[in-house]
Amino acid sequence: MKQIAQYQDGRLELQDVPMPTPPPGGVLVRTTHSVISIGTEKMKVEQAKMNLLQKAKARPDQVRKVLDTARTLGWKSALEKVRNRLETPTPLGYSAAGIVVAVDPANTRFHVGDQVACAGAECAFHAEYIALPDMLVAHVPNGVENWQAAYTTLASIALQAVRQTEPLLGDRILVMGQGLVGLLVTNILQANGARVLAVDLQASRRRFAELMGAEKVVIPGEQNLSDEVRAWTDGFGVDAAIICTATQSNAPIEQAAEALRDRGRLIDVGITKIELPWKTFYEKELDVRFSRSYGPGRYDPAYEWGGVDYPIGYVRWTEQRNFQACLHLMKTGQLNLADLTTRRVAFGDALKVYNDLLQDGSSDVGVVMHYDSQTTDVLQVTARKSQSLLTSATKEKRLAEPVSRLDVIGAGNFARTMLLPHLKGRIPLGTVVNQTSLSAKHVQGKFAFQNAATSHKDLFKSSENAAVLIATRHHLHAPLVKEALEANRHVFVEKPLCLTREELGEIDAVLGRSTGSVQVGFNRRFAPASTELKKQLAAIPGPRSATIRVFAGKLDPSHWYANYNESGGRVLGEACHFFDYLCWLFESEPVRVFAQTVWPAEGRLPFPDTVSAQVEFADGSSGQVIYTAEGDHSYPKENITVFGAGLVAEITNFQKLALHRGRKVKAFSYTSKGHAEQMIAWADFLAGKSELPLPYEQSRTSMLLTFAVLESIQQARSVDI
């Protein structure tokens, strides 16, 4: 893999180095993005380019170490130590994001495939792969992109400075220095309800400070800071001043002390010279504090590398909890990272970027590096998915005008019994297509279709604004859906939507260029018992767990379901209902599944018809589906049990719902499994009365989960979704 290496003679190289190994309890992460901390890293590079005398002046602490070595070991050993130091490369970078690719067995928080933010100058390097301890890694929540998450470390430095400031609503605070960290401090203070006066020597920073929420910006070369503070604070002075500069001048400290009100607070976060003017600090009784990097836990090896967390009752905001708080600010849009980011570059161009940063007049603030072709693929997939969601959402809005008619392909007993009765009289019925002439004629007369046919080949030739219901055998679903979408029809297709991932991808592509829509027959989520259950769950917080037990009974080998080429098997053709139900119930993305078949897939049924699957969801919820052919018919066919905070809910055959709460049981009775409700809701959509009741993206997710279940059975391992 490649990593940036810095030498103390000023050289920067992009080197091939060995792959790192996760530390005990830690993880290995494939970096997707990292952020250059311009202030800190530019200072390191500039110091490396200095001659020995300049280095000695810049780092007197290192000179003292050399003198101590000379006194104890002699000058020869001291010089050898200096020479080795100058020859040894050091890493750059400490704020990154990526995808977990390996997990130490002692770690229980992370899994392969997790998107994470990474921190630490000891490990979160500018490198294609980085190995980190558990406490320096944080999950990236849904809604936050990895390029944003790469700012987490820097944002946490700013957040810790704000915490040390202890701002109150309406406090007037001076932020000295509007580099990357200073701008983030300004942004977080503004989000906290404080008023900010920002100061920077560079006039170009004025625009950024205003975008980050500064109420007033002072450029000392253009304005008098003392006068501006007096006018802005009614003569009292600012409540607090945060020093975010990196300088060997004491001017920022002196200016901040003058600007502070009586008993104000001064917080230092930057690497700056500090000599406190005694008279000013004494007379005002100023409070001086330092902000230690990302927060409590920083530089404590027992915390960072040993994984020993501080109890929240004693330390509310550790560095790990600061990471999480910053990621939440990103999720809610309160951190304005887009305006902060002045450049995005490929990791391969890193050396040129550093060279640009060292030039006089460089105006960069936030520089994000993205990594390798894999990263590009991830970004492209994300972009395509976002576009798909946008396109799909547009199509699923309320129709401008009702459809002219509904055609039906496949009018077997299920369609005649469970679907068509709820559509009759709600929408004009056009042509019914069935395999046998007699059956087609019968359905035409029973439901008042205009026409009957035994082939659909002429059905999609017209350009009418029409809809089609597909209730054929499963292997025909995907081809018919694609053909209907090509004709810009609004489609209802019985589950499953398709039989392979390839077919799903083809449907995605056709839907992307069609003006039609897709509705899948996942009816259980529409059942009245489900509606009441969802209403009850909405009132309780936190993740949930659910168990769905389905006793389907033995499959007759002569049934068409036993023809795998037509049905796709029972797990795909039937159990998909219940995987969809879990997704709907939790309203969270499934991330991982482990499944097994109980009865061997051999003999007359050479494919699984019994499955036990455990599904992990992004919000921490978990679901189990047991779909079995083995059991006794005295037992109910479908049982659902949901556990949540202070609530246990049980659904039996979608006819009964029992709510256990407060040591009491409340019971409800119903008669529908949701077929009628879904048909009525879809008919309202076709009439232009409502939006599509089941968005395509949700059905798509349910199918991806079902395919992952089958893969888990086949491969005898957990599968990421």
Residue 300 lies in a domain: no
Residue showing tokens 């997790």: 114
**Non-local CB neighbours of 469 within 8 Å, separated by 6+ positions:** 406, 407, 408, 409, 415, 419, 423, 491, 492, 493
Last residue within a domain, chosen from 502, 520, 538 = 520
- Rounded Cα gap, residues 196 and 558, in angstroms: 76
Please tell me the predicted confidence (pLDDT) of residue 559: 80
The pair phi, psi for residue 389, each rounded to 5°, is -60, -45
Please tell me the predicted confidence (pLDDT) of residue 57: 55
The strand pairing partners of 97, in sequence order, are 33, 117
Low-confidence residues in the chain, pLDDT < 70: 42-73, 75-87, 373-396, 599-608
The pair phi, psi for residue 399, each rounded to 5°, is -70, 140
Residue 625: which domain range? 524-675+695-720
Residue 579 lies in a domain: yes
Domain containing 37 — which CATH number? 3.90.180.10
* Same-domain status, 574 and 650: yes
Query: Looking at the 3D structure of the chain, how many domains does it have?
Result: 4
Residue 307 lies in a domain: no
Last residue within a domain, chosen from 491, 520, 549 = 520
Number of H helices, E strands in the chain: 26, 31
* Same-domain status, 273 and 343: no
Q: Which two tokens stand for residue 633?
A: 């018919």
Residue showing tokens 């396109």: 391
Please tell me the predicted confidence (pLDDT) of residue 382: 38
Contact 668, 531 (CB under 8 A): no
* Same-domain status, 460 and 583: no
The answer, yes or no, to whether the previous bond of 496 is cis (omega within 30 of 0) is yes
DSSP symbols for 407-470: EEE---HHIIIIIGGGTTTTS-EEEEE-SSHHHHHHHHHHHT-SEEES--TTTTSS----EEEE
Q: Which two tokens stand for residue 121?
A: 């100058």
Contact 298, 319 (CB under 8 A): yes
* Same-domain status, 270 and 413: no
Give me the amino acid identity at 529: A
Domain containing 541 — which CATH number? 3.30.360.10
* Same-domain status, 642 and 504: no
What is the pTM for the complete model shown?
0.68
- Rounded Cα gap, residues 478 and 700, in angstroms: 13
Q: Which two tokens stand for residue 578?
A: 């219940």
Please tell me the predicted confidence (pLDDT) of residue 59: 58
Please tell me the predicted confidence (pLDDT) of residue 223: 95
Q: Where are the strands (E) in 256-384, listed by range?
A: 260-268, 287-290, 341-346, 366-370
Last residue within a domain, chosen from 467, 493, 520 = 520
Domain containing 220 — which CATH number? 3.40.50.720
* Same-domain status, 476 and 612: no
Residue 513 lies in a domain: yes
* Same-domain status, 176 and 141: no
**Non-local CB neighbours of 100 within 8 Å, separated by 6+ positions:** 27, 28, 29, 110, 111, 112, 113, 114, 115, 116
Burial (CB count within 10 angstroms: exposed 0-12, middle 13-18, buried 19+), residue 320: buried
Please tell me the predicted confidence (pLDDT) of residue 373: 45
Contact 325, 117 (CB under 8 A): no
Give me the amino acid identity at 592: R
Closest CA to 149 of 213, 95, 211: 95
Q: Which two tokens stand for residue 140?
A: 């990236």
Per residue in 635-673, pLDDT tens? 999 999 999 999 999 999 999 999 999 999 999 999 999
* Same-domain status, 643 and 594: yes
Please tell me the predicted confidence (pLDDT) of residue 665: 97
- Rounded Cα gap, residues 308 and 245, in angstroms: 33
Residue 392 lies in a domain: no
Please tell me the predicted confidence (pLDDT) of residue 374: 46
Residue 62 lies in a domain: no
Residue 325 lies in a domain: no
**Non-local CB neighbours of 313 within 8 Å, separated by 6+ positions:** none
Residue showing tokens 């170490």: 65
Contact 150, 180 (CB under 8 A): no
**Non-local CB neighbours of 638 within 8 Å, separated by 6+ positions:** 548, 549, 550, 551, 651, 652, 653, 654
Closest CA to 8 of 46, 48, 45, 41: 48
Instruction: Say how many C-beta atoms besides its own lie within 10 A of residue 370's C-beta.
Output: 20
What region does 261 belong to: left with phi over 0, alpha with psi -120 to 50, or beta?
beta
Helix ranges (DSSP H) in 267-318? 278-284, 301-304
Q: Which two tokens stand for residue 617?
A: 């969801």
* Same-domain status, 510 and 540: no
For residue 494, the SS3 value is: coil
Please tell me the predicted confidence (pLDDT) of residue 561: 81
Residue 58 lies in a domain: no
- Rounded Cα gap, residues 130 and 30, in angstroms: 7
Give me the amino acid identity at 455: S
Please tell me the predicted confidence (pLDDT) of residue 81: 63
- Rounded Cα gap, residues 268 and 240, in angstroms: 11
Q: What is the dihedral of CA 515, 521, 523, 524, to 10 degrees?
A: -120
* Same-domain status, 249 and 366: no
Dihedral of alpha carbons 36, 41, 43, 48, sign? negative
* Same-domain status, 133 and 169: no
* Same-domain status, 160 and 146: no
Please tell me the predicted confidence (pLDDT) of residue 306: 92
Please tell me the predicted confidence (pLDDT) of residue 381: 36
Please tell me the predicted confidence (pLDDT) of residue 387: 41
